[in-house]
Structure 1
Amino acid sequence: MKDFIDAYSWINLRYLLEGLWITVLVSIASIAGSYVIGSILGVIRYVNIKIVSPVVGVIIDIIRNLPLLLIIFFTYFGLPNLGFRPSSVWATILAMIIFESTMIAEIVRSGIVAVDPGQMEGARANGLSYSQALFKIILPQAMKKMLPALVSQFISLIKDTSLATIIVLPDLMHNAQIVYGQNTTYILPMFLMIAIMYFIVCYALSLVSRGLEKRLS
């Protein structure tokens, strides 16, 4: 019990909270960027633009089948060889956006495909152009279908930020390692606190998604 009390001193908790703040900031930026780019890529794959859609599809398939850790290594260690030297924070955000965009693209494409084809036919029959029917009729319905998968992907993204500890991202996992590295008896208390903090963030996101589902239903 004494180990837990000492491990949860204000200094240690404040250090963990600083790491949690970095985790949240990286996650928010990555979610926003990957959602925008992934949605665009998903629509491009669905509408089947000549040459463009097949090329986008190949790129998505390649990136989706690469380890996220490899992409993190590339953005942090590889980009400097190309003249761009991002910090560990920006390297993580960039890697997350690259990887998660491909995942979201498939979710978006699948969500659109899941909408009854008759919806498009009916919209076109009522005088809407293809793009109008897609963005005003199909996508709003697809959003309801893809929301659970999107939230699940975003939760995975939040947890995957811990991989960036290997490039010294000062996130929750990294800061916890610093704390229990100074005193190995703090390992269990730190792991417990990490689990609680990740749970709070991820569960909060799931609550937001439930609210959105109710509003969309």
Structure 2
Amino acid sequence: MRGKPPFRGGSKLTAVVVALILAAAGALVNWLQPSDRQESRPSAAAPSAPGRSGPAAAGGVPQGSYTLTGTIVNVADGDTVTLRAPDGQRRIRMDSIDAPEEGHGPEQPGQPDAEAARKHLASLVAGKALTAQCYEQDQYGRDVCALILDDGRSANRLQVEAGYAWAYTARKGDYLRDKAMPELQRQAKEAGRGLWARPNVTQPWKWRYDCWRQRQCG
């Protein structure tokens, strides 16, 4: 009895099966490997630890230990504002600067340029939503902060740069976190901007002592 002739399509079928297996294996390997076209994403920055200081994104302004965000609803003077935050209103004393004092009755008369300083600050921040980069609370319960505008500039620095506040160098610089302030003040004074247009101006901390405490309002 003659055997059946071998199936002549067997070799072709085997080749097809082998090709399919190889293709499937290749697809599996490609699927397991990350695509070269996938864009890499930067990892999120770790949050700053409370109380830590260092350079911040706002042009080198020292980093705060906490932040407040909200709208400035009142400008009391050239260095004090009220911010309406989600949890209520917060009174903010601007860090590293001291502006001319507003008057508080006959016993505490105001300084020249105090209203001009307040108006200049109002032109920068009044009614605007911004971030306050804060360091601590002072003895009056005010948050001591740098006010950061939408464009990243510090309103504190702009007050000094425009000649409407001093770098707060009292007590050997204990209140001066932002070390850029003295140079900004020097430039404003040299250019005669703001209060520096007048001779014989008096630092607010000296005014508070000489005029308000010693009654020597020269």
TM-score range, shorter chain: under 0.3
Higher Rg: 2
Q: Larger % of strand: which? A: 2
Q: Larger % of helix: which? A: 1
